[in-house]
Structure formats: structure tokens, C-alpha cells
Amino acid sequence: MRRLVLISPAAATCRGHFDELAGVEVVERYDLAETPDTSRLAAGLAGAWAVVAGGEPYDRTTLAAADDLRAIVRWGTGSDAIDVGAATAREVAVVTMPGANSEAVADLALTLMLGCLRRLPELEAAARGRDWRPPSPAGDLAEATVGIVGLGAIGRAVARRLRGFGCRVLAVEPAPDIDFCRHYEVEPASLADMLSQVDAVTLHTPLSPSTHHIIGAPELARLPRHAVVINTARGQLIDQPALVRALAEGAIAGAGLDVFEREPLPENDPLRTLPNVIVTGHAASFTRLGMGRTGEAVLAALRSMLHGRLPDGCLNPETWG
């Protein structure tokens, strides 16, 4: 029997289907999700052939202690918590689910964008209180200029939605799909050129050393004062203290954030109280569609590996003989 350890709590949404995998012993260790204790994580992986991983860190030390581990299967698309080089050196396949949750994440990105541009928290507070309506009009998504940073599966899903609003769409992407851009009238642009033109910017790029704090104080200063920032990707893409200053000083109009540099968001974090911020708790893919499609992709990857086939989404295929 091959031991499969379920760590991502999202795996519980399709728990019964893991029992259908032939020759697999399923162990549930949701208590290890997001743990910073790598020694505790390594102990939980003892004897594991594969793990369905959340956001917990898989570093060189953890991987060295997990002698039997042959696959880290991420419930999602990000791999920033995994030392892929160390995994490759130990012949551990790293598998992600590209595109599985793209529709759900794109929906929340548009929800946050609309909420920020229309100043939804302010509208609701006014209607619930004595003002009924704010004194000044809100912005619009219709015919707005929107910048997308990262034109992968989620970025493309956002671009498709924006077309229905008649938006001008600018995209920052090192290797854009030219046919997609032509069909959906997406204009490739540099980050510096894009920022000064937009009403909203939304982040959909993976976290890497080159994208860490891709939006910092200099980038926020380039944005028009009426612009809003949306992030449903990774919190570390934004210099959070710089964003708080820009929001508090009115340098930008608002932000819609599903991810943060520290998660859960600390109780005393100013982002919780700023009136021009909408926050959600890393829930962009936490929908019936998002969970269902990701679960199907995870199970398909595991079935492929059990039959000796290279799974889709493998970041280091050289490890899979």
C-alpha cells in the first residue's frame, strides 16, 4: 500500500474519492496545514508516497527527512512554498493544478474590482446609516482601463470577463499569448507604462524572487489617485506597509485583497479598519466550482502517477521515470 497524506483542508471536500484510489492508504493530517514547523511536517510525512499539500513549507530539510516521498501534489496553482530545486534533487515530483480554479478566482477578482470602484463599503454604510447615499459619485468598471499583471489561466479568465464591460485591457506578461491578446484586444505593456494609465490593476502572477513586492511604493506612486489595486494571487506581491500608507493618505482610491503578507490577517492590522479596503480571507477558489475542479485535477494527477504516467502540471518532469 502506498501512503497518501492529505494535508490541505480543501481535500476534505472530496475525501471519499481518495479511497477509490487502488493500492493507496489515505492518512488525514489537516493539522499540518500552513504549519511553519518543518520538523513536525517531516514527521507527519513519515512513510508517505505522496502528499496533497496546502501552503506549508517544503524546504531542503523537510524533504531530506521524508525518505519515501515521491510526489508533492499542490491543491492549487502556487509552488512558492516548495523548494522545487531541492525536490528535484531528491527525485520528488512537484505537481500543481494550473487552470483548475481559474474561473472561481477570476470571479472574485471582478467582484473585488467592482466593489472597490463602486465604493461598496461606503455605499452600504451610508444606506445603513443616516446618509443614505455618499456625497460624491463612485467610479465605473464599464469602459475603464484595467491592467492585468500575469496573463496565465486566471489572468486570461479575467480578461475575458472584462471584455463584456467594454474595458481597455493592458497586460504585463513576459511571454504573452499573441493569438489570445489579438482575439480579446489585450494590449501587452510594461509595468511602468501600464500603471500610469489604469483605473484598476489586478495581480495574477506567480510569486517568485522577481515578482516579490512587484507593487511597492514606487509603483503605487505611479497609479492615478482614483485607481484601485486588486490582489487574489499572493500577498507578497505587494509591499503591504507601502500599500497601507498609499490607502491612508488617499494616494490611491482603494484596494480589494484576498491574500496578505501574513495570513490570517492579524487582528490589529490597519487593513482591517481602513474604509477604502475590501478584505476576504484567501477564499478566491473556495467555491463549489473551484473546489470541484481542483479536486478532480488532483485525483487525475494521482491516478496518472499510480499508473506510472507523468501527471499534468508537473514542474520537474525529469523526476518522473
Among 247, 244, 197, 204, residue whose Cα is nearest residue 224: 197
Identify whether the C-beta of residue 138 lies closer than 8 Å to the C-beta of residue 119: yes
Q: Residue 315, Cβ neighbours under 10 Å: how many?
A: 17
Query: Do residues 22 and 110 both lie within one domain?
Result: no
Query: Do residues 108 and 243 both lie within one domain?
Result: yes
Report phi then psi at 5, rounded to 5: -100, 125
| pTM, two decimal places | 0.95
Measure the CA angle with vertex 287, ends 294 and 284; round to 5°: 85
Query: Do residues 117 and 183 both lie within one domain?
Result: yes
Please list the ranges in the chain whose pLDDT falls under 50.
Answer: none
Among 90, 298, 95, 285, residue whose Cα is nearest residue 204: 285
Active site residues: 234, 263, 282
Q: Residue 266, Cβ neighbours under 10 Å: how many?
A: 11
**Between helices 288-306 and 102-117, what is the axis angle to 10°?**
150
Query: Do residues 46 and 169 both lie within one domain?
Result: no
What local confidence, expressed as pLDDT, does residue 127 receive? 95
Region class of 265: left (phi > 0), else alpha (psi between -120 and 50), else beta: beta
Measure the CA angle with vertex 180, ends 238 and 103; round to 5°: 55
Among 1, 251, 20, 254, residue whose Cα is nearest residue 138: 254
Query: Do residues 93 and 112 both lie within one domain?
Result: no
Identify whether the C-beta of residue 52 lies closer than 8 Å to the C-beta of residue 298: yes
Query: Do residues 249 and 159 both lie within one domain?
Result: yes
What is the extent of the structural domain holding 153? 102-279
Measure the CA angle with vertex 234, ends 230 and 235; round to 5°: 75
The H or E element that residue 277 is part of is: strand 277-279
Query: Do residues 118 and 251 both lie within one domain?
Result: yes
What local confidence, expressed as pLDDT, does residue 34 receive? 85
Q: Residue 38, Cβ neighbours under 10 Å: how many?
A: 17
Q: Where does residue 112 rank: exposed (0-12), middle (13-18), buried (19+ CB within 10 A)?
A: buried
Q: In the sheet that 277-279 helps form, which strands lie side by side, from edge to edge?
A: 186-188, 168-172, 145-149, 200-203, 228-231, 254-257, 277-279
**Assigned C-alpha cell, 234:** 499572493
Query: Do residues 107 and 204 both lie within one domain?
Result: yes
Query: Do residues 141 and 274 both lie within one domain?
Result: yes
Residue 241: asked if its preceding bond is cis (omega within 30°), the reply is no
Query: Do residues 185 and 303 both lie within one domain?
Result: no
Domain count across the chain: 2
State the Cα–Cα distance between residues 77 and 181, nearest whole angstrom.
22
Q: Identify the bridge partners of residue 94 per DSSP, sorted by sequence position.
A: 72
Query: Do residues 123 and 19 both lie within one domain?
Result: no
List Cα–Cα distances, 305 to 8, 73, 94, 116, 309, in angstroms.
19, 11, 12, 43, 5
Query: Do residues 119 and 265 both lie within one domain?
Result: yes
